Amino acid sequence: MKNAIRVAALVLLGALSWNVQAASFDPDQSDCAQILERWAEDPSSVPQRLVDLCKEKMAAIAPAAGAPAAMAAAPAAIDPCTGPNAAGSVLCWGPWSALAPAAAAPVAALEFPDEPFDCENGNELGGRCVASFTIPEPALPVEGCQPGTPCGFATLVSGVTSQGDVEETEFFRFDLDPDGSSFTVDPDGDSEINSVEMGVNIQPRNDGYEKMRSTGAAGEEQSRLISRIVRDDEGPIELAADVWGHGNRATGAANSGFFAWGTSTSQAGLNALNAGNATVRFTGPMSVNNATNAAITVDFGSQPGWAGTWTNPAWSFGAGGRVTGVNFVSDAGQFTENVQDGSFVQGALLGEPGRQGIAHIIDVRLEDAGHIKDVGLLRQVVQGPGPGFQP
């Protein structure tokens, strides 16, 4: 106990005033053994010059000729790296190696560990797994869109009125020919509906859109579109929304609904928006009930997200979530309190920066308004005159 106190005092004194007091230090062998042992456990706890002094003392120790066996064994007791069990001493694997040659490491300790693998897909024979920090992409209720490709969503009901019982209204992807002459509901799906070739008539409007009426017949098959559109400078349709219908006069079978469509934002456009940490706002009416106005804000950057509100004279709600590529979907935890379980909002970004839009669908159950399904086309709000300007 006295030796331990003395060693602690020496170490403390050495740490505080080595330059002044070093000449008066004369630790004996027992002191040095404990000092070096402490240094082996925590190299930062002992001044280096005190360690060097003890190393020199211990290295100079050699059993005198004819000394008793106990005396001859003293260095091994003091320096564990010189004894018969040196290979198994943990003290010989660190700072002690400077005092005596380190023992050879066991062969197993020199083997490299197995390569890490994903914990969910790892092998069953050993190795070590590393947790994946990749955030999984949220599930999309309706098939999502790819950057730079035609993309839209539609409601589908039986009959020609485009409206029906909300519980029997379905959502599908929607595609439109850029000249307005044909459309497809649920492309490549089990409920695929292909229009006949239609003639197109476009008239001006005073709200930044044009009005397009497309109709056509092929035998007993008939198709029609009545929609708002935005065209680029060369004529093809960039954005379109509102009513579609298709039926057979002979059988009486018909389907119809509402839609929102455009060409999704290119990857280059997304990269530019994310690199600039842009914030873009979109507004516009819904189509099934055009008394409902939607407003969505998208924050681009390293982790793009969105938030929106839908306001009707009889109700309102809010939602938000992540943006993945051109697609976005609601996070259940970001709905306002009046939205019930099982609800969702899904959409896609359309167009290029400066003249973008959003096609989206809402399927929400509200405590104060029941079940609502709708589809909408929103346009980018741009401040000041220019493409996409909205007052």
- For the ranges 72-76, 155-159, 214-218, 318-322, which has the lowest average pLDDT? 72-76
- Domain-located, residue 281: yes
256 with 312, same domain? yes
Measured distance CA(35)–CA(13) in Å, rounded: 13
Last residue of a domain, one of 106, 130, 154: 106
Last residue of a domain, one of 106, 135, 157: 106
70 with 202, same domain? no
Last residue of a domain, one of 44, 77, 106: 106
Domain that holds residue 314: 145-391
245 with 298, same domain? yes
- Cβ burial of 221 (10 Å; 0-12, 13-18, 19+) is middle
222 with 310, same domain? yes
The CB density around residue 37, as the number of other CB atoms within 10 Å, is: 16
Which pLDDT band, with edges at 50, 70 and 90, does 301 fall under? very high
Q: How far from each other are the two terminal CA atoms of the chain, in whole angstroms?
A: 86
88 with 235, same domain? no
- Domain-located, residue 101: yes
96 with 162, same domain? no
Domain total of the chain: 2
Q: Taking Cα atoms as reference points, which of 323, 328, 282, 319 lies closest to residue 300?
A: 323
CA dihedral 380→381→383→384, nearest 10 degrees, is 70
151 with 98, same domain? no
73 with 204, same domain? no
149 with 251, same domain? yes
- Domain-located, residue 165: yes
| DSSP tag of 160 | S
- Domain-located, residue 124: no
211 with 302, same domain? yes
Answer whether residue 12 shows pLDDT above 70: no
Q: Taking Cα atoms as reference points, which of 168, 204, 185 lies closest to residue 245?
A: 185
Measured distance CA(390)–CA(381) in Å, rounded: 6
* DSSP states along 48-80: HHHHHHHHHHHHH--PPTT--HHHHTHHHHH-G
Which pLDDT band, with edges at 50, 70 and 90, does 10 fall under? low
Check: CB of residue 103 under 8 Å from CB of residue 85. no
Length of the chain equals 391
Measured distance CA(334)–CA(188) in Å, rounded: 33
Pairing of strands 117-118, 129-130: parallel
* DSSP states along 321-356: EEEETTEEEE-GGGS-TTBPTT-EEEEEEES-TTS-
- Domain-located, residue 121: no
Check: CB of residue 225 under 8 Å from CB of residue 241. no
Q: What are the distances in angstroms from CA 266 to CA 139, 262, 361?
A: 22, 12, 21
Write out the H or E segment, with its range, that includes residue 156.
strand 150-158
- Domain-located, residue 380: yes
What's the mean pLDDT in 356-360?
97
Read off the pLDDT of residues 234-256 as tens digits, 9 standing for 90 and up. Answer: 889 999 999 999 999 999 999 99
Which is more confidently placed, 23 or 44?
Answer: 44
Check: CB of residue 205 under 8 Å from CB of residue 228. yes
**CA 306, 175, 166 angle in degrees (round to 5)?**
70
What's the mean pLDDT in 327-349?
97
- Domain-located, residue 291: yes
% of the chain beyond a pLDDT of 90 = 60
333 with 230, same domain? yes
CA dihedral 4→7→11→14, nearest 10 degrees, is 160
Measured distance CA(190)–CA(186) in Å, rounded: 7
Read off the pLDDT of residues 87-129 as tens digits, 9 standing for 90 and up. Answer: 544 444 444 333 334 444 444 444 444 444 445 554 444 455 5
211 with 151, same domain? yes
Crossing angle for the helix pair 48-60 and 2-21, to the nearest 10 degrees: 110
- Domain-located, residue 135: no
Measured distance CA(107)–CA(343) in Å, rounded: 60
Q: What are the distances in angstroms from CA 150 to CA 184, 261, 296?
A: 11, 8, 21
Report the predicted TM-score, pTM, of the whole model to 2 decimal places: 0.65
